[in-house]
């Protein structure tokens, strides 16, 4: 009988660089976000709001740890994220729940959810960047999702109702470096952990943001999901470590 990948074989960690990571964050009515979450997860609240958003990340030089950089692959990727907590064997644990991932890489689409955690949808990305402004958009090949975001990098965080300053926002998202993604099995969630010794963010103001996910009023009634802030990370060395999937029978998080 075939065994699930990851139950027996230890998957290698992946090393590379976050060439650009744009986090566009929404403050959401907790009652509304709870209806989006699987029962396993609870929303993390900040100033009475749940925190959700879109991560638009370009990765470079991604390869199994130990291999030379020139063998690595690059890709544009997107993840819709919700800050959550759940009960684990050591008590309450926290991270993010990822209902959807998209990528322009056929490799990520082919191996995601099969040989490595995280099912990806194939998408086309449109990107324009400078030192001070970033515009990132994508559209899923099957038409199931689309995002268009433009931000300007600022000296300080302004207008956020979630975070008092850049340091508070940075600390919050650094704590959410563990993510569990939806799979075809509603009781099974694929896990990844982002590790870096060079965590650094820049605040940004949102010039424009459209999301087929957050703009869907059948899921998020008018006023229940509001743009709050944006953060930018650039040129950050990272390691992605595969975690054991989270299932009803999960006893440890490793």
CA 46, 99, 225, 86 dihedral sign is: negative
Right CATH for 14-243 from 1.20.1090.10, 2.40.128.20, 2.40.400.10, 3.40.50.2300: 2.40.400.10
pLDDT at 207: 97
pLDDT at 96: 97
pLDDT at 3: 37
Q: Answer yes or no: are the C-beta atoms of 162 and 171 closer than 8 Å.
A: no
> Residue 84 and residue 37: Cα distance in Å, rounded?
9
Q: Which two tokens stand for residue 52?
A: 């959700």
Tens digits of pLDDT across the chain (254 residues) = 333 434 445 678 999 999 999 999 999 999 999 999 999 999 999 999 999 999 999 999 999 999 988 889 999 999 999 999 999 888 899 999 999 999 999 999 988 877 778 899 999 999 999 999 999 999 999 999 999 999 999 999 999 999 999 999 999 999 999 999 999 899 999 999 999 999 999 999 999 999 999 999 999 999 999 999 999 999 999 999 999 899 886 644 44
Which residues are 55's β-sheet partners?
A: 23, 79
pLDDT at 249: 67
pLDDT at 111: 87
pLDDT at 116: 79
Residue 220 neighbours by CB under 8 Å, 6+ apart? 28, 32, 214
pLDDT at 89: 81
pLDDT at 90: 82
pLDDT at 118: 85
pLDDT at 104: 97
Q: Answer yes or no: are the C-beta atoms of 236 and 202 closer than 8 Å.
A: no
């Amino acid at each position: 009988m075939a065994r699930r990948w990851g139950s027996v074989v230890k998957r290698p960690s992946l090393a590379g660089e976050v060439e650009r990571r744009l986090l566009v964050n929404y403050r959401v009515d907790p009652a509304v976000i709870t209806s989006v979450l699987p029962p396993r997860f609870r929303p993390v609240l900040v100033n009475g709001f749940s925190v959700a958003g879109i991560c638009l990340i370009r990765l470079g030089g991604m390869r199994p740890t130990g291999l030379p950089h020139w063998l690595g692959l690059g890709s544009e990727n997107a993840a819709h994220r919700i800050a959550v907590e759940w009960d684990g064997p050591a008590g309450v644990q926290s991270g993010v729940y990822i209902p959807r991932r998209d990528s322009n890489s056929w490799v990520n689409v082919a191996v995601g959810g099969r040989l490595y955690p995280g099912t990806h949808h194939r998408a086309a990305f449109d990107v324009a960047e400078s030192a001070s402004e970033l515009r990132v958009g994508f559209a899923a090949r099957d038409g199931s999702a689309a995002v268009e975001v433009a931000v300007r990098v600022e000296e300080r965080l302004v207008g956020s109702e979630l975070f008092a300053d850049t340091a508070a926002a940075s600390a919050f998202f650094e704590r959410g470096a563990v993510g569990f993604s939806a799979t075809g099995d509603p009781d099974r969630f694929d896990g990844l952990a982002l590790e870096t010794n060079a965590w650094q963010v820049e605040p940004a103001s949102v010039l424009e943001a459209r999301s087929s996910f957050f703009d869907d009023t059948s899921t998020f009634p008018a006023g229940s999901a509001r743009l709050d802030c944006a953060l930018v990370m650039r040129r950050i060395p990272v390691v992605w470590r595969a975690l054991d999937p989270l299932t009803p029978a999960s006893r440890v998080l490793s």
